Structure 1
Amino acid sequence: MIKVVIVDDEPKLRNGLQTLIPWESLGFTVTAAATNGKEALSVIEEVTPDVVIVDIRMPIMDGLQMIQHLTAAGRRLHFIILSGYADFEYAKQAIKYGVAGYMVKPVDIREMSASLQRVREQIEKERHQAELSQTGGVNREAHLHSLLVPQAKIEDPDKWRSKAKDADLLWSGYEVVIISLRISDAERFNALNQLSAGLKPIIEGRNKGIVTVFPPYTVLLLNEPLRGKQRREELYNELRSASGGLRFIAATGGVVSVPEEICSSYLNAQKAVKQAFFSEKDQLLGPNSPALLSSTESLWMIEDNPERLEEFIFKLYYSLDIGNKAMILPLLKEAAGYFLSRGQEEKTVKESFFFLSNAVVHKLTAGSRMVWKETGAVSRFLNGIFQQEYLEDLVEEMNRFLLAFAEDSESGGKEQEFKIMIDFINRHYSDNLRLETLAGLLNYSAAYLGQLFKNKTGEYFNTYLDKVRIQKAKEFLSQGMKVYEVAERVGYANVNYFHGKFKKYEGRSPSDYKNL
């Protein structure tokens, strides 16, 4: 864990930072707190933290004086400074001491967490460099690290090649592959080193390149391009084997030909990792990795329509309500395409699906005329949306949940109504039954009830009614009743019309059936 000391004269802010920031999940632990700079000097001497979060304005000794004192004493610490808007000019003086972050009060939790994440990555890099120095491997890997960082100004190419030669990195081509572990921040650094150790025999032992840790990634620099699908799949399987069961995302940044372009391959790989949510899973990603949805599926949805989300909610609800299960997955993919066409990022797409799911569940619950008791299952599903690592999995899980939810929610209301409707037809088949009449009785539209009926029985309403009437007619004919009497008894005023219907469904006339 990375140790942190908080220095601020406001008890509310000190306590708030200690309780509201998810320190452990970010890989940090708060070891102490102080009320001013002078008190902090003693605390820092005692607990030796890695990071100090300090307010600029404090009594006795302010934050700037404290930073000056520690820097002059040669203490290598990472500072995140806090200040009010009015203190900006004053705070700028602290920046020259190389502070790691600058936060304006009141502190935003998300911004602070992001700043801490950046600090953690820097500390992990420094620790890794120290480990390399102790093992004698610093020259080669340190040089690789410098090649991964974009340069403000490209040096003389000959100088780059000279450095590469000294580090035994003067190759005919280069391809960067990065591996990002799906693991908590607190566990990541050790896991990256373990993965690196597992990959070295596979990569370095076979003279395929070198392996290093460059937080938050394990990085491979390959000396031969990953030509063809088979080679990429082989490498992905090797990564899977070395990961020891840990979930990961791996991406290549493509081939470059000179050392000074290695950083471009690295940056391309980073971009691919950040877009992993929208890509196919269980494969080595790259600059041209296929997205989950093809462009042809979303071209027609590019226009920004504020009513589009409501339309998806209605279509999903309507399809689930009438039992048209086959429509749900295509509708969810259509919604995903729409969100992507609007340029939504991973977090926003998940929020959109959360809203969509919640609205559909609410409508289904209200429409079933029952009290849904499994609220815990709904909460787990909705919260689980934000844990999904791939859009493909999110869509599949949402499809599964909505189908199951709709099936459960209809058992008390709509299913009972459908049974009532079938029983009504069986008892009143001889009457002048019309779909519109039943729809009115059940407070549905005729179009809606017709589709519901078709999905439940596999037959249109009039066809189902005809088959019930013909079945009853066969019973009456077997009892010896005359054809015209049977026609009237089952609801056909016209004997010829009855004759045609009977022959259509039975393949023979009523008279032939009677004489069997």
Structure 2
Amino acid sequence: MKGTVLLVEDQPNFREGLKVFINQSSRNWTVIGEAETGEEGWQRTLELKPDLILMDIHMPAMNGIELAERIHAHGLDTLFVIITGFQDFQYAQAAIRYGATDFLLKPCSDEDISSILDSAFKRLRTKRKERQTAREHLLRSILLKYQMNQELKSHFLRLFEGSRLWLVTMTDYFPEGKNYGADDLYVLQYGIYNMIQELAVSEDADAKLLILKEDQFILSVSSALGEACWREHAELAVREYLGIDIESVLLGPSTEIDRLVSAYNDYNEQRMRTVKTPHAEDGTNKRQAVEAVKNEVMSLIISGDLQALRDYFEKVGGQAASLPLTDGKMLVINHALALNQISEVLGLFARQSNPAESLLPIVDQLPGSAELRNWFRAACQNFETRLDRWKQRATPYMNSIQQAIDYIEEHYLDSELSIKQVAENIHLNPSYLSTLFKKETGETFTGYVTKLKLQKAQVLLRNTDMKISEICQTVGFDDSTYFSSVFKKHFHVSPSEFRQHR
């Protein structure tokens, strides 16, 4: 999917030349708007929400630095490149502070423009992946009740502004007549994802399909998109190509979070009421039954709701006890096998605690439904305990680390920036943050800040004719000799050698 570009440039001929070059020569970008002044550029930014802005520094009404500052102040998730014919390090310093990703110096060649656009598109792909991950995390946090607070709600409203959300559910990954196995699960998920995404985007360019669980997606569409066409086409395409049935229901507008949660819960409760308890005489292939259980348990683990997992196990135990003993044992064996497979995947046990071949005789020896239920409850409690320990080890507290990184990005030019200052801002103990930061980023706090400054210096060396001493000051180094030494240590070339090979 191409990225969108807004051109903010007061010279008509140069602006027209940029537009023609980008639209005719770039495979990754398309120009969606133009503006002659910074003020007009700001209004067009709000209206069009471009992925990238190419903006001149010197324009009437509002210059490029002022526009960059306004974009930064409003927290807009937009890349921008500064176009300039000036090598004034004060402009460059301000542009870097407000988040400029690159500089385009006039006069510029086609190669210069192509290089800038290629670099920007790599950043855009990274940002899209991050936004996709953030949206999926928010959906799981809210709809699956992982956590809910005002900050998450506000973030949700920003990311899904002006959208309606549809729930798309796969009714069965293992339909009759198809020999799909466990190894096919993610391939099927990927195929269904691509078909629905392509059909929805063909009707709404802003449509986004997000993975909620193994068997459920959320489709975010603009409020104007009609429902009948994409639903019918998606259901037909998935059934025709994969033999799998899907259901689509409207949860509601993104602005009504409580309604979304209620609609999602109502749908799943209704779905559960129509699900038939598996019996031995159903003829269901054991492997498929185990995979279905595994998918359900993994979905609950992904949701992070340990109580929901306990409730699920308790419900299954009750069902097993209410069935004829043979059928109850079959239900328990399927769940026990699924838990063992999940344990292997997650590394919950040093080795498989109950190998599959030993489960059958163990369960077969249980004399009655009460003993069966108690055995299953003990097995589930053991699984829950080890899962809880695994989650404590595996959870990297990335939210805190991301907050720290965001704060560093904002304040790395402050001469007094310290791990203590960052820790106080995100409400963590400085010593704990220091240890956690090193564990998750692979860098010490000081090393990370230094590396960030050097990356900013590379941008200026590659795209400006500023003196090395000026670049040194711009990115926050006090001594140019020390700057050159650190630069060479990191990149194995001196700043001047790096510039020569730009």
TM range (shorter): under 0.3
Q: Which has the higher contact order (CA 8 A, sep 6+)?
A: 2
Normalization by structure 1: what TM-score?
Answer: 0.27
Normalization by structure 2: what TM-score?
Answer: 0.27
Question: Which has the higher Rg, Structure 1 or Structure 2?
Answer: 1
